[in-house]
Amino acid sequence: MITFTINDQKVTAKKGWTVLETAREYGIEIPTLCHHPAVKPSGACRLCMVELKEKNWSKLVASCIYPVAEGINVYTETPRVHNVRRWILEMLLASCPASPEISALAQAHGVVSTRFKIHDPSQTCMICGLCQRICEEVVGLSAIAVVDRGVHKKVGSPFMRPTDVCVACGCCLTVCPTGAMKDIFDTVRGEPKMPLTQLAM
C-alpha cells in the first residue's frame, strides 16, 4: 500500500495505481475528457492536471497517467490547476461549439463564454483519439484513424477513405465524450449498409 495526500487528506493506493484512480476511489472530483477505464491512458486532453507540492517546489502532472508514489502531496484545486482548466475549456468552447457535452462541462467549471474566434460553428470533435483507441484496443480493429499532425490533425478512417473494417459494434459512439462520433461515424464507414448512428441515441 502506498500512502500520500490529496488536498491534505491522507489516502492509500495500490502500487501501480494512478493519482486519478486513487482520487476517484475517494470520491475526489477531477475533470477528465480523454480518459476511459477500458483503454490505456493517453494523456491528451490535459484537463486532469493536478499540482504536486513539496516545500517550495511544485509542478503540474496529468493525474490519469501519473503513478502514485509514497509521500507525494497532490492538490486538485489550486490557482495553477484552475488556470489550466479554464484555458483548455475556453479553447474547447471555441473549437467544439456544437457539442452540448463540452458546453455542460465548461459550465460546470464556471466557463460560460470564450474569448476566441469560432472558426467552425458545427464542429464537435476535439480530436482526443479516444474512439480510435477503443476501436483498436478493445474491439481489436483499426477502423478509425487519427491522421496528420498539429493544427491539421483529423479523426476519420485510415487514409481518409471509407472503411469496411468496422463491425458496427458502436463502442466508439458510446465512448465519445463530445458526441462527435455521431457526426463522423457514417463518413468513417463510407456507405453503410445500415445506418448506425442511432446506436448512440
Partner 1 sequence: MHDHALAEQSDALRLRSLDDLNRLRKQILDKRDPDQPEIVVCHGTGCLANGSADVSAAIRSALDASGIEAKVVPGIKTTGCQGFCSHGPLVVIRPRGIFYQKVKPKDAKEIIEKTIVQGDVVKRLLYKNPTDGEKILHEQDIPFYKRQTRVVLHNIGKIDPTDISDTIASGGYQALAKALTTMTPEQVVQEIETSGLRGRGGAGFPTGRKWRSALTAIEKKGRPVYVVVNGDEGDPGAFMDRTIMEGDPHAVLEGLILGAYALGANQGYLYVRAEYPLAIKHLTIAMEQARAYGLLGDNILNSGFSFDARINRGAGAFVCGESTALFTSIEGNPGNPRPKYVRSVEEGLWGRPTVLNNVETWANIPLIVNKGGDWYAKIGVPHSTGTKVFSLVGKVNNVGLVEVPMGVPLSTIVEDIGGGVPGGAPFKAVQTGGPSGGCIPYELKDTPVDFDSLTKAGSMMGSGAMIVMDNRDCVVDVGRYFLRFLEEESCGKCMPCRLGLSRMREILDNFSEGKGSEKDIEDLLSLSKAIQDSALCALGSSAPNPVLTTLKYFKDEYLAHVTRQKCPAGVCKNLITYSIDPELCTGCTSCAKQCPVGCIEGEKKKPHAIDTGLCIRCGICMDTCKFNAVNVI
66 SS3 class: coil
Which residues, listed in sequence order, are joined to residue 49 by a DSSP beta bridge?
A: 62
Total Cβ atoms within 10 A of residue 201: 6
Is residue 44 a contact residue for partner 1 (CB under 8 A)? Answer: yes
54 within 8 A of 43, measured Cβ to Cβ: no
Question: Does residue number 32 form part of the binding site for ligand FES (CB under 6 A)?
Answer: yes
What angle, 0 to 180 degrees and rounded to 10, lies between the N-to-C axes of helices 100-108 and 79-95?
A: 160
Please report whether residue 172 would count as binding ligand SF4 according to CB under 6 A: yes
Considering the rule CB under 8 A, would residue 6 count as an interface residue with partner 1?
no
56: part of which helix (H) or strand (E)?
Answer: none
Contacted entry of ligand FES, ligand SF4, partner 1, none for residue 35, CB cut-off 5 to 8 Å set by kind: ligand FES
124-160 per-residue burial string, b: 16 or more CB within 10 A, e: under 16: bbbbbbbbbbbbbeebeeebbbbeeeeeeeebbbbee
Q: Which of 28, 68, 111, 144 binds ligand SF4 (CB under 6 A)?
A: 144
Q: Is 57 in the site for partner 1 (CB under 8 A)?
A: no
Q: How many chain residues bind ligand SF4 (CB under 6 A)? A: 28
> By the criterion CB under 6 A, which residues form the site for ligand SF4?
125-131, 134-135, 139, 141, 143-144, 155, 166-172, 176-178, 180-181, 184, 188
> By the criterion CB under 6 A, which residues form the site for ligand FES?
32-35, 43-48, 62, 64
> By the criterion CB under 8 A, which residues form the site for partner 1?
41-47, 49, 60-62, 65-67, 80, 83-84, 86-88, 91-92, 94-95, 115-117, 126-129, 148-153
